Structure 1
Amino acid sequence: MSAGVVIREAHFPGRAPVEAYGNGGFRFADMSHRGSLLCLPSGIYGWEPADPLKLTPQDFARVLAEASEIEVLLVGSGTDLRPLGADLRAALKQAHISADPMSTGAAVRTYNVLLAEDRAVAAALIAVD
């Protein structure tokens, strides 16, 4: 009996700089991922927010679960800067996470710099074409 194709949740168990972005995905650690990403202290995860244009605290459950290891969260909101909603800002503030929304390109560049400085940084990156 054949098991068929097994689809697993996308996860890279470590921290790595993002080497490239665009065409609907990202490259990091000599791998590529199609779709959005969460870059957390515990690793890099595939991420599918319910509505990329209207992020909610539920979209950040994994971030909030690792709040004790995160000081700064960079939120790459696609090609344009989109402010975070009041409920999301409040949830992150309560978890003592400073959130900084910006375009995905700016978030990738800033994440790489802060990661190289060994800072307690995380990033939520919405894929861009």
Structure 2
Amino acid sequence: MQLQSESNPALNTVTAYGDDYIEINEVSYGHAVYFGPEGEIHTWPVELVSDITAAVLRAVAGLGETKADPMAFLEGNTVQQKPIDAPEVLLVGTGLKQHLLPAHVTRPLLDIGIGVEVMSTQAAARTYNILMAEGRRVIAALLPLKETA
């Protein structure tokens, strides 16, 4: 019996990673990137874990800056609602080692129902490929494997 891998070449897949690159669809990137199963591979303007802010994560998740509705308190709705096309989970690869992010950085996404998982880039790449293959709405934001702080 011959087993064949089930993959869709139209989907963005992490195909390799090394000390100074991340390879997606057999194209190497020597800088931080973010991407979802479909669409472009974007340059992520982050070099160090300390560069990751709530605004940076909102941008990666495809959420624009929102202005607070000064009248929202009247309806008891002061939390932004999750857009229909928002990802279920955002995977953040922090380089060679896992570096947890402060709660104030991840809280805005968690509050609207977008999971944020922070792990080493290697673990994030593997997890992304699994979730993407399952058809989940996932976004990966990956720093290269060099040591970051």
Range class of TM-score, shorter chain: 0.7 to 0.9
SS of 2:139 mapped into structure 1: strand
Q: TM-score, normalised by structure 2?
A: 0.68
Distance 1:15 1:95, change over 3 A: farther
Contact 1:15 1:44 in 2 (8 A): no
Q: CA deviation at 1:50?
A: 5.9
User: Which has the larger displacement, 114-123 or 88-97?
Assistant: 88-97
Out of 45, 48, 52, which is 2:45 matched to? 48
Cα distance in 1, alignment partners of residues 114 and 145 from structure 2: 25
Please list the CA deviations of residues 37-95 of structure 1 after superposition, one character each: whole Å capped at 9, or x if unmatched: 11135432111226423521122242242563300111111111111112211111133
Question: In structure 2, what residue type is equivalent to 1:117?
Answer: E
Alignment RMSD (CA, Å): 2.0
Q: Which runs of 5+ in 2 are unaligned?
A: 1-9, 64-82
SS of 2:141 mapped into structure 1: strand
Q: Which residue of 1 aligns with 2:16?
A: 20
Flag the structure with higher strand content: 1
Contact 2:95 2:145 in 1 (8 A): yes
Q: Which residue of 1 aligns with 2:7?
A: none
Q: How many residues align?
A: 116
Question: In structure 2, what residue type is equivalent to 1:122?
Answer: I
Cα distance in 1, alignment partners of residues 117 and 53 from structure 2: 15
Contact 1:15 1:43 in 2 (8 A): no
Q: Which runs of 5+ in 1 are unaligned?
A: 1-13
Question: In structure 1, what residue type is equivalent to 2:40?
Answer: G
Q: Please state if 1:35 is matched with 2:52.
A: no
Contact 1:15 1:39 in 2 (8 A): no
SS of 1:69 mapped into structure 2: coil
Cα distance in 1, alignment partners of residues 17 and 121 from structure 2: 8
Calculate percent identity across the aligned residue pairs: 32
Contact 1:54 1:85 in 2 (8 A): no
Contact 2:16 2:26 in 1 (8 A): no
Q: TM-score, normalised by structure 1?
A: 0.78
The structure that has the greater radius of gyration is 2
Question: In structure 1, what residue type is equivalent to 2:20?
Answer: G
Segments of 4+ moved more than 4 angstroms: none
